[in-house]
Chains A and B, each alone.
Chain A
């Protein structure tokens, strides 16, 4: 709460501002998250993705990010430690170009606490890519303005609609930033999506974040054995790159969405978005909820799932059925008469 609020203040005063949070901290600052985007402040924030309690649990999943998916931030998911580094550099450029805050989502522990060799560009290289910040609005005594007015019903819809249009327009900026980054640093990093063998795949696994690496390993093995699998990893979760995703999934007959969060009472969140997007296609879409609260997503679990052709729309990967059998007691609705 305080941290993002300090960044709101410093950004509003015209200084490039950054903060980081995770899990409960994100929810504690939830109203500031909405506020930063509503005020068009190009703050960059790292979200070390972790579960939300209760029960308290400090390990990785995407429930925290999903809880603020409608808050008006641009949300980029890093697949690797290197991409985490690169996305942060791009994030400032994207934020300042779109006047939107950018959240760089980095899987907790799996990426945040992993030791891995990464290339950290020099200050000069970064400065060259990212010129000094020139804010369009700021708390300036020479040109006093009021930032953060109350907006009455007569104009509120317009303010929100403009924010919506701006976020959709940001897709181009994100794509462009990724291209620019590649030109400058010679690396594919960021952009809207990462495609892996989607061109010839019958089955495409859609996912976000670090688990894409495990999945790629699994399908490499399956494809070696004649499978036709591909992976679509979404970098820009917000704005959601509808056209790019549709294009990537063009050849798929089966889509499996592997995600680390779900909406209690409905199911997978990313899977719903994919279902909506692909509603006019004939492909079958399955939802896999995996890795909740840091549960390991192993190659055997994934391999088994991919090969078994599950019938259920939604599968909780690795669910311990014995515990559920013991603990699940259906509600007796008769009591409510």
Chain B
């Protein structure tokens, strides 16, 4: 067919007009770090496993969890989930209940007897780990997977360290610990119980490297004047006695717990479960300054525990506890006595004011440094001053949580692996964080956090809470996928220039031949996974 010159054109001939030359700004897909991942002390890729949960792919989600943390069921209970504090959805309609999803998946793994999928190729090298707590077990897990022959020495008769001796069983049932630790021993990790290391130098000589994760289980003592027959006990000792089935001194009806951390809360709640009727927590600063996790505080208050803030214990005289009233300046952080006092009554006082480390085992080893704060000093690669001796967990840490300990264990395994290969561990370069401002929340409907009612009385039995499969889907799908494309196709749909190619597998690619750089794609990206940059790099 002939057609008139210029006034009739064949279809889609404008494809030869490469409008990309107009561009002054250039969009590019980026992967930004979701705040949950950033804050996870164990370095879990929370967003990734949430995306697998969203698809109903629970097994793969669990596999993704255990890439970075061998204890999902434990974490789902004992982790203080800082991820949820930073979750961007918290600024919208409530953070994603990451913790409960993790717990549900972790429990699912236990009841379905899911096993780690790994092929171990033996390196022939031996590693000694001191302490079968979260950090030691975590390190053992990763090192074993990397092919090392791992032995753990544990001074107690049971595994778990602070997971067992620091967390009451109503929060963390012991069979959960057993089940998740068993998966690690199933990998071939040897645990020697009741083995208290007195001389590390001697023990270390049989191994290629040592990881000391002996924890901090020595109660900090005070110089409070105690008179009369009031029962005074350290929380950590109380927990150990309960756990090991030893005789527990009668605490009486009226119990005062001294301290503001999670241990203090656990001690107070334990006292209730041991029969106390009147439990008070005495804390020197305000309730907002309590190091204890907020949900713990709330649960304690809900159980009827009273928290007396801005008080310190002056003296204990039989059942009379004399308290100094305090004044705390939030701006200067100066805490001072007001001069006023107050007297309360108690049958027993539980101290929960801190734990320190046991240092005797390090005697005779050159290079080990114990800092002024009473912790073992380590370098960037988690090695102590002694070659081949690494340390992590509570023994080196300011932040003593199980999750941090697990993170230490993972990092230690990488450092040790690098050390044994004659290399230095180099952490991955971190992406930029996807903060709330980088999101476009217009596309998210207000779906309230799926809450599960907590059943049960005050007892040592765990309160049963978990999600149904439907709830798992619903709650996980509240994730904003901050900083990472979740294939919503907004960019592709909105581009006025069709300058985004959607491949058959759903992946997207900018077509810079036509992209004019308007930026609608970045502006309408719900999760901040597109960045506009200056065009210079072309």
From B2-10, B90-98, B118-126, B495-503, give the one contacting chain A. Answer: B2-10
Task: Answer whether residue A300 sits at the interface, using C-beta atoms and an 8 A cutoff.
Answer: no
For the complex, give the distance between the alpha carbons of A96 and B537 in Å. Answer: 56
For the complex, give the distance between the alpha carbons of A147 and B5 in Å. Answer: 11
- Name the CB-closest residue of B to A136: B1
Taking CB atoms, residues of chain A closer than 8 Å to B302 are none
Let me know if B6 and A151 touch, CB within 8 A.
Answer: yes
For the complex, give the distance between the alpha carbons of A143 and B12 in Å. Answer: 12
Interface mask (A139-153 → B, CB under 8 Å = 1, otherwise 0): 000011111110100
Task: Answer whether residue A158 sits at the interface, using C-beta atoms and an 8 A cutoff.
Answer: yes
Question: Given that A136-B1, A136-B2, A137-B1 are contacting pairs, would A149 and B7 also be in contact in the complex, using a CB cutoff of 8 Å?
Answer: yes
Question: Given that A136-B1, A137-B1 are contacting pairs, would A147 and B6 also be in contact in the complex, using a CB cutoff of 8 Å?
Answer: no
Let me know if B5 and A146 touch, CB within 8 A.
Answer: no
Q: Pick the contact of A136 from B3, B6, B9 — CB < 8 Å?
A: B3
Question: Given that A136-B1, A137-B1 are contacting pairs, would A145 and B11 also be in contact in the complex, using a CB cutoff of 8 Å?
Answer: yes
- Name the CB-closest residue of B to A146: B9
Taking CB atoms, residues of chain A closer than 8 Å to B10 are 145-146
- Name the CB-closest residue of B to A159: B6
Taking CB atoms, residues of chain A closer than 8 Å to B3 are 136-137, 145
Let me know if A158 and B6 touch, CB within 8 A.
Answer: yes
For the complex, give the distance between the alpha carbons of A149 and B3 in Å. Answer: 13
Chief secondary structure at chain A's binding surface: loop
Let me know if B4 and A99 touch, CB within 8 A.
Answer: yes
For the complex, give the distance between the alpha carbons of A38 and B6 in Å. Answer: 11
- Cβ distance A324 to chain B, nearest Cβ, rounded Å: 48
Q: Pick the contact of A40 from B1, B4, B11 — CB < 8 Å?
A: B4
For the complex, give the distance between the alpha carbons of A137 and B8 in Å. Answer: 8
Interface mask (A60-93 → B, CB under 8 Å = 1, otherwise 0): 0000000000000000000000000000000000
Complex interface residues of chain B between 507 and 524 (CB less than 8 A to chain A): none
Q: Pick the contact of B8 from A149, A155, A158, A162 — CB < 8 Å?
A: A149
For the complex, give the distance between the alpha carbons of A145 and B6 in Å. Answer: 12
Task: Answer whether residue A126 sits at the interface, using C-beta atoms and an 8 A cutoff.
Answer: no
For the complex, give the distance between the alpha carbons of A137 and B10 in Å. Answer: 11
Taking CB atoms, residues of chain A closer than 8 Å to B4 are 40, 99, 137, 159, 162
Q: Pick the contact of B6 from A137, A144, A155 — CB < 8 Å?
A: A155
- Cβ distance A146 to chain B, nearest Cβ, rounded Å: 5
Complex interface residues of chain A between 151 and 173 (CB less than 8 A to chain B): 151, 155, 158-159, 162
Let me know if B11 and A147 touch, CB within 8 A.
Answer: no
Taking CB atoms, residues of chain B closer than 8 Å to A145 are 3, 8-11
For the complex, give the distance between the alpha carbons of A155 and B6 in Å. Answer: 8
Task: Answer whether residue A39 sits at the interface, using C-beta atoms and an 8 A cutoff.
Answer: yes
- Cβ distance B94 to chain A, nearest Cβ, rounded Å: 51
Let me know if A147 and B1 touch, CB within 8 A.
Answer: no
For the complex, give the distance between the alpha carbons of A143 and B11 in Å. Answer: 8
Taking CB atoms, residues of chain B closer than 8 Å to A40 are 4, 7
For the complex, give the distance between the alpha carbons of A158 and B5 in Å. Answer: 9
Scoring A143, A145, A162 by chain B CB atoms within 10 A of each residue's CB, the highest score goes to A145
Interface mask (A190-211 → B, CB under 8 Å = 1, otherwise 0): 0000000000000000000000
For the complex, give the distance between the alpha carbons of A151 and B5 in Å. Answer: 10
Let me know if A146 and B11 touch, CB within 8 A.
Answer: yes
- Cβ distance A289 to chain B, nearest Cβ, rounded Å: 38
Let me know if A162 and B5 touch, CB within 8 A.
Answer: yes
Q: Pick the contact of A159 from B5, B9, B11 — CB < 8 Å?
A: B5
24 pairs from A and B in contact (CB 8 Å cutoff): A38-B7, A39-B7, A40-B4, A99-B4, A136-B1, A143-B1, A144-B11, A145-B10, A145-B11, A146-B9, A146-B10, A147-B7, A148-B7, A148-B8, A149-B6, A149-B7, A149-B8, A149-B9, A151-B6, A151-B7, A155-B5, A158-B5, A159-B4, A162-B4
- Excluding A99-B4, A145-B11, A149-B8, 12 further A-B contacts by CB distance (< 8 Å) are A40-B7, A136-B1, A137-B1, A137-B3, A143-B1, A145-B3, A145-B9, A146-B10, A148-B7, A148-B8, A149-B6, A158-B6
